[in-house]
Chain A
Amino acid sequence: MSAPSASPPPSPPGEIDYVAVEDSPPFRELKKRHRSFVWPLTIVFLVWYFAYVLLSSFATEFMSTRVTGDITIGLLMGLGQFVTTFGITMWYVWYANHRLDPVSAEIRADLENREAGA
């Protein structure tokens, strides 16, 4: 992926035609990668969090069930929220470093070159 396909419409040197950039394949790819990752994941962790809150609110018997000793299902699910939060954080960082940053760096470098009047 280098400069956007089909040379952008003529614009004064140093000025960037953002509409053309936005429509360029590399940018569309970046946008797709970003949104198709963050939105589904947001829905997943919100559903999981509210499932936990609703169970704690309405299924109190179930949440008070002991698994071992004084450790209850509710406590384990609560600790599970910590685990998933840390897990999603690490997954996103990996994804951003490997799948988002290289593309955005390429587009940014290209824009900076163009802005310099190249």
Chain B
Amino acid sequence: MMTQTQGPWWEQVGAAIEAAGTTVDNNPILNISIFGAFVAVTLFIVIRASRNNKTAADYYAAGRSFTGPQNGFAIAGDYLSAASFLGICGAIAINGYDGFLYSIGFLVAWLVALLLVAELMRNTGKFTMADVLSFRLKQAPVRMAAAITTLAVCFFYLLAQMAGAGGLVSLLLGITEQLGQSIVVAVVGLLMIVYVLVGGMKGTTWVQIVKAFLLIGGAIVMTIWVLAINGFNLNTLLEAAVAASPQGEAILGPGLQYGKNPWDFISLAIALVLGTAGLPHVLMRFYTVPTAKEARRSVVWAIWLIGLFYLLTLVLGYGAGALVGPERIAAAPGGVNSAAPLLALELGGPILLGFISAVAFATILAVVAGLTITAAASFAHDIYANVVKKGNVPADGEVKVARRTVIVIGVLAILGGIGVQGQNVAFLVALAFAVAASANLPTILYSLFWRRFTTRGAVWSMYGGLAAAIILIVLSPVFWGTETSVFKNVGTAIWPLNNPGIVSIPLGFFLGWLGSVTSRRSEDPVKAAEMEVRSLTGHGAEKATSH
């Protein structure tokens, strides 16, 4: 149990760690050692990888030198956040089917990226999403809007991850004190700054690849273990989960999690399936490979890995329900999120728990690194170099600004992560997807496929989609009137759903159309032809840098 000594902070931390060491079965020292080993190995790789980080193409796009399979692993490492690993396992363990339903949107979404976005983006852009969106439209306003929506998505996602790091600490290291959690958030933030500052996109990519290996490998081992206990029979596993659940056979069908307000889930589902292809940190990964064909292979690998992983979480979730039991999970320090770690403890004892805990930390680290380099690239490349300086930047000036931005973002992420401790910020991930789907995807698709799309359409769609998503969230039960709201039991929500997508996404598409048909200024037809030819043929696409 936690000792509440009032000494200097280091004594408090020491006491907290000592106290945590005596928590039943959980071994924080072991957990920290395994995580430390991960950090040591990845730091070594990052430093080795950073030798050729001179040009912007090296720093932002890893010299475009990764292969499709490597990039596929990195995409999986970037995409499978702690929320999807711990959150989905926990949701399935407690609510069964509805957790599984949630995971499917994250997978199907990749078909939008594969069929409509990945290759065409790779062929027409350089470093950022804004490169593509401003290709044939007016540079300054479109780039600015695209950079702002990029920064917004990265910020929401980053804050959610940092808050998650704090929550994870209480669960895995037994530290429930505010101070201890804040220190861990700061450590995660500092490590991320080092990775991104030193390693650039190459270092970030390697961290994501290593993490994807560990995460999927760990999940495979645990899945086989769970299946072995149940005679490799899914039906036996489901029977055991039903027997262990107070909800009984209700966990086999829909309704436990989203049954109260189905429209809320439908709104979320729209945002999930359309948001992925508009996530700026996912889009930026397409520039780290040499050709559009490799971008296609990346997405194919990512789809197999992500699909496999969600199939594993189905077994792990029901396995946690059967072997640990929903009541024990709900009562554990991390609540729902503790399902996967508790299952690891049940199966393999403290060593497997330590491994899974380290993987969970590595997951947060890899995801925040990817978000930070995306946000830094967008600020330095789009806002500083192309809007403020109008392209007149010395060769290394842009990267210098990007590196400084990394530090600023890292510090903001640490302060933000500490600031939101104890707050319910789970809505931030859903908000990031909603903004990506409302503000980014309409403009991406219109630019790539609709000739009469104009600057006004792009600007209206991006700002309109962004504003609609944020305003609806602020007016929703997430902020007002319920037990879990930001303002607990205060006021009433004007907008009834927790997810804005069902309104903000159609609005984003509508504004793009409306702005285009009402604008008098016609766009350059030669640029439009060039963009179309380049997007489909790959002529003039950025090539890999050779070292």
Q: Which A residues contact B (CB, under 8 angstroms)?
A: 16, 18-19, 21-22, 27, 30-31, 34-35, 38, 41-42, 45-46, 49-50, 52-54, 56-58, 60, 63-64, 66, 68-72, 74-75, 78, 81-82, 85-86, 88-89, 92-93, 96, 101, 104, 107-108, 111-112
By beta carbon, the residue of chain B nearest A70 is B238
Residue-wise, chain B 250-286 has the 8 Å CB interface mask toward A (1 for contact) of 1011110011001101100100010000000000000
When the two chains form their complex, are residues A50 and B269 in contact, meaning their CB atoms are under 8 A apart? yes
B234 within 8 Å of A (CB atoms): yes
Tell me the dominant secondary structure on chain A's binding face. helix
Tier of interface size on chain B: 35 or more
B518 within 8 Å of A (CB atoms): no
Residue-wise, chain B 520-544 has the 8 Å CB interface mask toward A (1 for contact) of 0000011001101100111110000
Q: Which B residues contact A (CB, under 8 angstroms)?
A: 97-98, 100-101, 104-105, 107-108, 110-112, 114-116, 234-235, 238-239, 242, 249-250, 252-255, 258-259, 262-263, 265-266, 269, 273, 293, 296, 300, 303-304, 307, 310-311, 449, 525-526, 529-530, 532-533, 536-540
Q: B residues within 8 A CB of A58? A: 262
Q: B residues within 8 A CB of A74? A: 97, 101, 252-254
Contacts A60-B259, A108-B537 aside, 4 further interface pairs with beta carbons under 8 A come to A35-B449, A46-B273, A49-B105, A64-B255
By beta carbon, the residue of chain B nearest A50 is B269
User: Per a CB cutoff under 8 Å, which of B111, B235, B307, B532 touches A22?
Assistant: B532
When the two chains form their complex, are residues B532 and A31 in contact, meaning their CB atoms are under 8 A apart? yes
Across chains A and B, which 4 residue pairs bring their CB atoms closest together, nearest first? A64-B253, A57-B262, A70-B238, A69-B235
When the two chains form their complex, are residues A85 and B107 in contact, meaning their CB atoms are under 8 A apart? yes
When the two chains form their complex, are residues A96 and B108 in contact, meaning their CB atoms are under 8 A apart? no
When the two chains form their complex, are residues B307 and A85 in contact, meaning their CB atoms are under 8 A apart? yes
By beta carbon, the residue of chain A nearest B250 is A64
When the two chains form their complex, are residues B239 and A63 in contact, meaning their CB atoms are under 8 A apart? no
When the two chains form their complex, are residues B538 and A57 in contact, meaning their CB atoms are under 8 A apart? no
Tell me the smallest distance from the CB of B109 to a CB of chain A, in Å. Answer: 9
User: Per a CB cutoff under 8 Å, which of B111, B234, B449 touches A89?
Assistant: B111
Residue with the highest number of chain A CB atoms closer than 10 Å, among B253, B303, B529, B538: B253
